[in-house]
Structures are given as C-alpha cells and as structure tokens.
Chain A
Amino acid sequence: MVRNRLLALIGVTMGLGLIAAGCGGDSSDSDSDASATVIRGTTDQPISYDPAGAYDLPSYDGIYSMYQNLLTIEPGGNEAVPEAAESCDFSDKANKVFECTMKDGLTFSDGSDLTAEDVKFSFDRNVEIADPNGASSLLANMKSVEAPDDKTVVFNLKASDATWPLVLTTASFAIVPSDSYPADKLQPSEEVIGSGRYTLSEYQAGQQTVMEKNTEYQGDAAAANERVIIQYFDKASPLKLAVEQGDVDIAYRSLSPTDIDDLDGAEGVNVVSGNGTEIRYLTFNTELQPGDDDAQKLAIRQAAAQVIDRQAIADNVYNGTVQPLYSMVPQGVEYATDSFATEYGDAPDVDAATQTLEDAGVDTPVPLEVWWTPSHYGTASGDEYAEIKRQLDESGLFDVTLKSTEWNQYSTAAFTDKYPTYQLGWFPDYPDADDYTASFYAPDSFLNIHYDDPEMNKLLAEEKGSDDPAVRSKAFERIQQIGAEDAPTVPIWQADQVAAVRDGVEGVEETFDPSFIFRFWLISKS
C-alpha cells in the first residue's frame, strides 16, 4: 500500500514537472541576460587561478581577465606597456634595476587598495611557494623585489635582462591582494580576488568558469560584456556540436583542422583566425642522431631541413590553418627572419640535400628514427609525421622509421637521451624572440640535445643584456642564421589562432595576436 502511494507520488511529481516544463519558456529566459553573456567552449582546462600556481594557457585566460599585471601587451602589440603601473623602466645602465611607479586609486574587487606592497608580496610568494605547476622558474634572474613606498616597486636582477618587462606581462606574475592571499600556499581557484575587469562568480572544475564584470575596476577599457562563461569539453567533437547548436558562442582551442573545415560555412557559424605564435619543430639529439662524426651529423640535419616540404604539410595535413615556418622565431614576433628559407630555399631541394650528404661522405639512405606523440600535439600529429616520413623517404636520401608513444612516457624519454629525432611544440612564455631562441639554443636548454655553440651563447647573452633595438636586431639575425646553419632544431609550422564563432559575436579577431592573451573584455554579442 505504502509502496503504491510512493510510486503514485513519484509519478505525479514527474508528470507535473514535464507538463510545467512543456509550458515553460526556454531556459535562456531565466534570470540571466543571455545577450550580455559570452559563452566560450574549450577543451583546455585550467590548473589554477592563483597566478603562483599557473603556467598554462587555460589558467592564463582566467587570470588575465580577473587580475592586473604591472605591465601588459595591448591587442596587436608586442611591447610591454603599463597596466597597474603608471610607468616602468630600467633605472641603471646595466639593465639590472627595474623600477615601476604604480597608478593611483587602484583597488581589488573586495574593495581593498592595491599598493606596491601587494606587488612585492605577489612576487615574493611566487618564489616562496615555487609551485610545481607554476612559473617561478621565470623569476630565476630576480635577486629581490622592494616596495620602498606605496607607489614604488623596485626589482633587483642578478644579470642584465632586457626581456624583464615582458616577463612582467606574464599572467603568472599578476598582482594578488596581500591581505587575503596566503604567503606560503596557493589560494583555492574558487576564492580568487583580483583587480581586473572581471570577478570570479563560480568555478566548477571540468564544467565551467563564470566571471562577471568587476564594478570596482579602475583600469583602461572596461569589458564589452557583462558576463563570461567558459564551458569545458573533454573532446573537440562535442565542442564542435555545441557551437553548431548555439550552446556556446565561441569554440576556441582546440578544434581539429577537419572540424574547422566543416564549420567554415556552417549555418550561423563563422570561422575567424588571427596571427598565432605556437610552433612545431623537429628536434635532433646531436649525440644520438645518425652520423659518424660532427660533420656528417650536421650534413644529415641540413639535408632533412632541405627536404621537408613545409607548405605541403600546411596544405595537406592542416588544411591551411597553419603556416610554413622558416625560423624558430615565428612571424609576428619582433626580429623574426626567414633564416631557413634564406639558407636552404623556401621549397624542398633534393639535389642540394644530396650534394650536402655527398660532401660529408654520408651513405644514403640515412636510417632515421623519428619519434612523435599522439597525445599532446593534436590529433593531426599522426598525419603530419606520416607526411614527413613520405617526404624524406621519397627523396631517396632517408629511410625513416616512425615511432610513437603516449605523452607521459614521451615527455620523460625525449629529454633524457632516449630519442635521436623527435617532434616538439612551443607556446611563448612572453612574445619576444629571446623566448624562441634561448629556450632551444642555450647549452642548458630543456631540450638536452647537447648543442653548444660559443658564438651562439655569446649572442644570446648579448640580446638578453641589451634593450637597444639595434643591438638586439643584429644579435637575433645572427642567432637565427646560426640556428639555420647548424639546424639542431628544424622549424616546421606556426599555427594561426582559429575560432568558430556564432553570428553576432564580435571582437574575437582583435584578441588574436602573438601575445596569446585571450581578451574576453573585447568580445561583444548582439
């Protein structure tokens, strides 16, 4: 009897629910004003919204929106310009003391004042916490930071560093309130406070981040929308469906080239793109690679660089969503050249490669073991490396064996002398040529490929130590030239930033620039 009543009650409740639901309006008629809310779908998941725990693009997307840095990069720009600072500059000739004066009247979203002390606190705690997922390693050159008064911040550097202003634009060094953040551990992502254009309303890991316009924001150019929702997807396929169905306004990172092709021209959806500085390259471990001596090893690297057809990879594998890359410094970053095109031509040259190998006495075909990973650099990696193998094999100069493994194994083995030749990619820490050269060509590079060239090392120190554009330009030109001649790494392509947006969504193109800052505040929806 009781059971029957219970079942009846459940039935009536469900029935009423369905009837009422049928009579109810669309969910978008709820409290929220849908037109003022911009919804971005992404497969990228943030690690932390505390700057001290972030060193990844998805976290940076939230941090740039909710905090301010001393310096920032304006849309389309590539120089550090003041944000929370009124002005910043080196105060000594050696470029080892960097002084900033803060703007007046800045406040955090909780109403507390933002002072120089907060800036000092933010940098000190970043170093103190040294979070495994954080970017404290970028502060290795910082000897100390001082706040002599409420408006002045002084950075004392261990060595001359012209890239320091750009380092300060990184989201990892956003300013946090000293009153409410712990000095020795991370603030939970759900409880972050900043002085940026938005405040965090909700963060559900793996589901969504919701940010609303900060009414206390004191800086330039307030947000063009009232609220931003970042909706997370496990894979690209449901993300593609979501933008097609209008569940999200923007699908950005990471749709496959095929998805982008499908969406281009789909009803109600537009594909927009802009300059990107994400690169892919082929790496040679100069000790493990084939070749009897250094001259033969050099010839083999040069021949590979001569034979690879970058344009074919861009067209056939990526449907034109990437651009051929002829220097480790991508186009769009200041001081970028086309050194590989200058050195070897911008089209494959098998005859020249044959001559290069013959001159060094290399027997052909050269057996080349090339490693790639299917789980880190996108779903098209398999096709990309099949194409590279085809090109190298068809030249008759190489006999390529492709090998692949999951990222977890790959990321250890590649950098511990296990792979002779392997696939890699790079996002900039900051949009400066230094980040694309010192990271790969310095003897202590993470690549661990045993490349060590005295002239290169001298030039890297020179560009880092000088803020004179003429000096840096000359140094970077030569660095890229040596990089092409020695070819320890062979650039393959640089990606455009590509998003699928619904009709009526404006401003996404404006935020696509080499800085990789996704500026939600520029985006509006009609």
Chain B
Amino acid sequence: MNRSGGLRTYVLTRIALAVPTVLILLTMVFLLMRVAPGDPITAALGARLPAKELEQRKKAAGYDKPIIDQYGEYLGQVATLDLGESVTDNRSVTSIIKENGSATLELTLAAFMVTLMVGIPIGLLAGRFRDSWIDVSGRLFGIVIYAFPVFFLGFLTQLGAGEVGWPTSGRASPIVDFDLDKITNFYLVDTLIAGDWSAFWDVLQHLALPALVLGLTISGVLIRLVRVNLLQTMRGDYVEAARARGVSERRVVVNHAFRNAMIPVVTVAGLQFAILLGGAVLTEETFNWPGIGSELIRYLNERDYIAVQGIVTVFAVAVVIVSLLIDLINAFIDPRVRYR
C-alpha cells in the first residue's frame, strides 16, 4: 500500500465510523427522553389544568403517537437539518444553537486558551527542571487544580470577585448587551467590530472569571501530560546527540524535545474539548453564562424533548467531528497511525 492510499483509506474508514456513532447517540438521546417520566405539557401546566385537558394538549402536540413514529419523524428532521422548535418557549432549535452556542463556544475557546497558556509552560518547566521545587510545585498545582470541581472553584472565585466588584454573571452588563450590535454573536469580536472599547472591556471582564475557572481545571491534565512527554523525549537518542554536539540545553528543550513532546498532547488536547463542553455546562450554571449548556439543563428540567434532542445532537456531532479531526491530524503527523 502506498503512502497516499493508506491515508485515504484511513480517512474514509474514520468518516464511515462517525456515521453509526452519531446514529447511536441520537437513538439513545431519543429513547432516554421518552423513558424519563414527565412531558413538557404536564411539567408546565400539571398543577393547573385537569387531566383530561392535559391529555388533549398532549395529543395536539403529538406526544400520543407511537414511539416508532416519533423516532422516524425525529431522524427525518435531523437528516434535513430541521431540528424543530422547542415546546416550552417556541424557539427554533437552530436559533438556540446559534445564540447560545456562540456563547458556549466563546467561553470554551477562551478557556482552551487559558488551558494551553497555563498547562504547557508549567508542564515544560516541570519537565525541564525535574525533581526541583519547580517540578514539585507544578505537579502539585496540576493535581490540586484538576481535583477541584468546576462549580467549587467558580464559587470561590465568585466570592473573591464579588468583594472587588468584578462581574460574576452573564456575558455583559445589561445595557452593554442591549446596545451591542450582534453580528457574529461572539461578543468580544462584535465589540471589536463596533470599535467600542468600553464595551470590549466590559465583555472581557465578564468572560475572564468563567474562562479562567474552566481553563484552569482542565489545565491540570495538560501539565502532567506535557511534563511526562518532555521527560520521555529528553531521553531520546537525538536529544543526547544534540547535547553531544554542544547545543545549549535551552535549544535542546525548545527546538528538539518540545516539538516531539507535543505530538501526543495534540491528541489529548482534542479530547479535552469534549471535557470542556461538559465543563462548560457546569461553568455556565455557576456564572449564569447564557450558553447552550445552561439552556440544556433548563430544557431537561422542563422535559422539552425537541430542544434537548436538538442540543444533544449538536453536542454529539461536535464531539464526533473533533474526534475525527484529531484522528486525521494524528494520521498526518504520525505515520505509524495510518500504516497500522
């Protein structure tokens, strides 16, 4: 098998595997929502209308149809990218994803930057100065920060931030939020487009705490991973050869060991994206961040089948796509993967 043929087969196999993965996820979401007790009509009006009236309303909404019919309709909607309208507040799922999804993505990307900015340097320093106080401190920080639940760390930072008047909830102050021309729905970008620096500062302040909390929590994994990988690569023959040639230790670490140490980090960093999405749900709840995660919890509590199915579908597809991308990047940067 030649080099390009092997890569093509690998890519096609991975894409083909993504389809049943998504289908299984969609089916599980659908069934779990139907098995769980309650329905959106009863949840909203159960203590107000007689049972007969509730049954009529459920019938009108189509909840009395056989499960298999509802499942068929659901898959048909997903296939045509029409995810329907939420039952409880009549919002199209597409608009929920667009408006609240952008808030989650903005938070996740900012948190991811924090993760990289904290995790990689600390991991590198810990690996470079193995068994020194820097190493011990870095490892201790990594373990402790990873052990902190997001909501607890969030609560602690809220307490501190509240004391100094730093914003602890929402994406922006109410008036800034209203005045902002939402072109991309990424508030930082929108304030830059508008050239409104005071709004930019306001949005940045609101983003800082949730991004820091979420990013720090995830950075613990990265610290340990970067450290271990750096230690392994530092033992490589080519590193010894570089040292023997008289290359400075700094150049050995940065130019030789670091790049190779980063290969497995790319994979794990990609996987952290899924964890970040999960963590974003908790972070959004803690900081009243109007993201898709907090909406998911609200719709779950209200048993809004349509909204939950739509949001989880998007989550599932996003994670599958990211996993696929990681597989492909791995295949490009590591020849052993595609020839296995």
Q: Give the B-binding residues of A (Cβ under 8 A).
A: 13, 17-18, 20-32, 34, 37, 39, 45-48, 53, 55-56, 130, 132-133, 137, 186, 188-189, 201-202, 204-208, 210, 229, 231-235, 238, 241-242, 244-245, 247-248, 375-376, 406-412, 414-416, 424-426, 444-446, 448
Contacts and interface: CB of A to CB of B under 8 A. Distances in A.
Contacts, number: 190
Contact of B51 (A26, A233, A415): A415
Contacts of A235: 285, 288
Instruction: Please indicate which of the listed interface residues A26, A408, A412 has the most CB atoms of chain B within 10 Å of its own CB.
Output: A408
B204 interface: yes
Given A27-B175, A30-B179, A132 B37 contact: no
Contacts of B294: 206, 234
Contact of A205 (B50, B89, B196, B204): B89
Nearest to A375: B301
Contact of A206 (B198, B295, B301): B295
A419 to B, nearest CB: 12
Contacts of B246: none
A238 B294 CA distance: 14
Nearest to B48: A446
A201 B177 CA distance: 12
Contacts of A28: 173, 175
- For the complex of A and B, 7 pairs with smallest distance between CB atoms: A408-B38, A411-B46, A21-B201, A24-B198, A20-B197, A238-B169, A409-B37
A238 B174 contact: no
A208 B50 contact: no
B45 A17 contact: no
Interface class of chain B by DSSP:
helix
A474 to B, nearest CB: 28
Interface of B: 36-51, 53, 57-58, 60-61, 87-91, 96, 99-100, 158, 162, 165, 167-179, 192, 196-202, 204, 284-285, 287-288, 290, 294-295, 297-298, 301, 303
9 contacts: A17-B200, A47-B88, A47-B90, A56-B44, A234-B297, A375-B301, A408-B36, A414-B46, A448-B51
A53 B86 CA distance: 13
A130 B59 CA distance: 12
Contact of B42 (A30, A48, A411): A411
A31 B179 CA distance: 8
B169 A208 contact: no
Given A247-B169, A425-B47, 17 more contacts: A22-B201, A27-B202, A30-B176, A206-B298, A231-B174, A234-B288, A375-B301, A407-B38, A407-B301, A408-B37, A411-B46, A412-B46, A426-B47, A446-B48, A446-B50, A446-B51, A448-B51
Contacts of A25: 198
Contacts of B49: 137, 446
